[in-house]
Chains A and B, each alone.
Chain A
């Protein structure tokens, strides 16, 4: 090993030793996220993914949903959706809080891939604040991407659209 390499690696080794084993990829348990949103965790509700709903999900995700029932939590106009979608190669788990048909806030709860964690930064997720569904179940705004995290950004956008769709459908069912 060259002298330069030794000089480079010595402080790194110290930094790693000081960091210890950190929390890993689970940033927040979904239960904790739901409890944080509502103060306490309300009873879950279920949205049945009927054939017409499945067709709308396919249009958003580009693939059929693998679940036939979607659990969610709601109180008044506020609902919470814990969704999952594959970024480049692994699932991203994110929590979406929808209030009055608009996204209130988004949080990445579990990120499994080795790159692209930038999608959990506040500068990225705050772009979804107040987003609502526009024509064709698209967001009413463009979400700026992150270089090197293109597929994770796409997955987050699809999940946001899905959360808004599910929220609307859950209200349609209640009031329909």
Chain B
């Protein structure tokens, strides 16, 4: 068919459609785009189904997709952050690619999905470097309904605010807050299974059974139970733990809490002196976030205990007297934070913030072996800074931190983060 004949035919056809005043040339231009795209597609080998490719070229196919909830698609997600710290007391400065995380999420069918994240910390991973490569999440979710989902694998424990929502553009400050680092050991994940869902108008519950800590693996006196985490790495699982969380969300408001409890002795698997020692660890938190008229308020309180802490201290000393320290027996802490969005135009959003944190970790001292409370476990931290979002998913940050006890941590920091 000659081009002129085609044009006449198309013009006639378009004339029968609802009139929107769009010219035939414009429509021909669009059709040419469609033809070019179809040509390009026929040249390529067939691609696997992508559930996230929009498909509203033809509404009838959209209906099919919406009903069928296309299967077999894999999405890539990720986030990362870089930071610069200039320490006040020593004058030293460091710059670090703190973390780069990528993940693959796969939909097997309309109910069954896989969620995964792989994290690389500090840019380089080798025997001589500080970097770590780790699986942060790898779990399968089976959705029966919004109210009932089953999950199994390595997943995040729903305690606190930061542990489950820790992408850099979602929190204030170059570094994550210390309460949800040293007391709630973010990013805290365990192997296990759970049930979660939304009930009523905005109540999200999450309960389950997981691996627990192994107190025989404690190797850091300043981070409570954190260094006893197992992170799904050949975890000793003689003792399991249970967790539960309930959060209420509505626009601008989050109120919730969670609890985790499990023995950590692991029958002495990593430290024979803990054989028969329960060393039960329990931790709970309550938190709230409220956003109104540019004001962003957030508060969290958390407390926990480690049973048989004196026996854990003795076990650490028995394993290696040169590195032993007094095990944590109780820990509590909290923070309050306020931010105000002073400028918002397009994607740009600027919010100065202030945060006050309190950390109090008590250790089971053993004076006979010179194992005492570390003074840096009684800390107050003030942070003053600003977040500048250049895009909802990309943020620049700056802050100043002042520690009451450990002055070596006083610092000026710059950072940037992203998520996709």
Contacts and interface: CB of A to CB of B under 8 A. Distances in A.
B249 interface: yes
B242 A8 contact: yes
A131 B285 CA distance: 38
- Please name the 7 residue pairs, one residue from A and one from B, whose CB atoms are nearest each other, closest first: A22-B145, A173-B20, A144-B251, A144-B252, A147-B254, A89-B75, A67-B57
Contacts of A86: 52
A146 B107 contact: no
Contact of B147 (A22, A46, A83): A22
Nearest to B391: A62
B251 A48 contact: no
Contacts of B409: none
Interface string B226-262: 0000000000000111101000011110100000011
A146 B27 contact: no
Contact of A12 (B20, B62, B195, B393): B195
Interface in B46-79: 51-57, 59, 62-63, 66-67, 69, 75, 77
A19 B144 contact: yes
Given A2-B239, A9-B209, A114-B141, 20 more contacts: A1-B209, A2-B242, A15-B148, A16-B148, A24-B143, A26-B69, A45-B18, A48-B20, A50-B22, A65-B54, A66-B56, A67-B56, A91-B54, A114-B115, A123-B250, A144-B291, A146-B251, A147-B254, A148-B249, A172-B21
B147 A124 contact: no
12 contacts: A9-B209, A19-B145, A22-B145, A26-B67, A67-B55, A89-B52, A112-B69, A118-B250, A121-B202, A145-B251, A150-B169, A174-B20
Interface string A74-89: 0000000011111011
B6 interface: no
B289 A147 contact: yes
Interface string A11-35: 0100110010111111001110000
Contact of A118 (B26, B33, B195, B202): B202
Given A5-B209, A50-B22, A30 B62 contact: yes
Interface size classification for chain B = 35 or more
Contacts of B63: 29-31
A142 B292 CA distance: 10
A123 to B, nearest CB: 5
A12 B207 contact: yes
A41 B92 CA distance: 69
A40 interface: no
A23 to B, nearest CB: 6
Taking each of B54, B111, B263, B393, which has the highest tally of chain A beta carbons within 10 Å of its own beta carbon?
B54
B304 to A, nearest CB: 16
B149 interface: yes
Interface string B96-136: 00000000010100110101000000000000000000000
B275 interface: no
Interface in B1-53: 17-22, 26-27, 29-30, 33-34, 51-53
A147 B249 contact: yes
A90 interface: yes
B338 interface: no
Contacts of B251: 123-124, 127, 143-146
A59 B248 CA distance: 34
Contact of A82 (B62, B202, B204): B62
A9 B289 CA distance: 30
A69 interface: yes
Nearest to A173: B20
B22 A173 contact: yes
B198 interface: yes
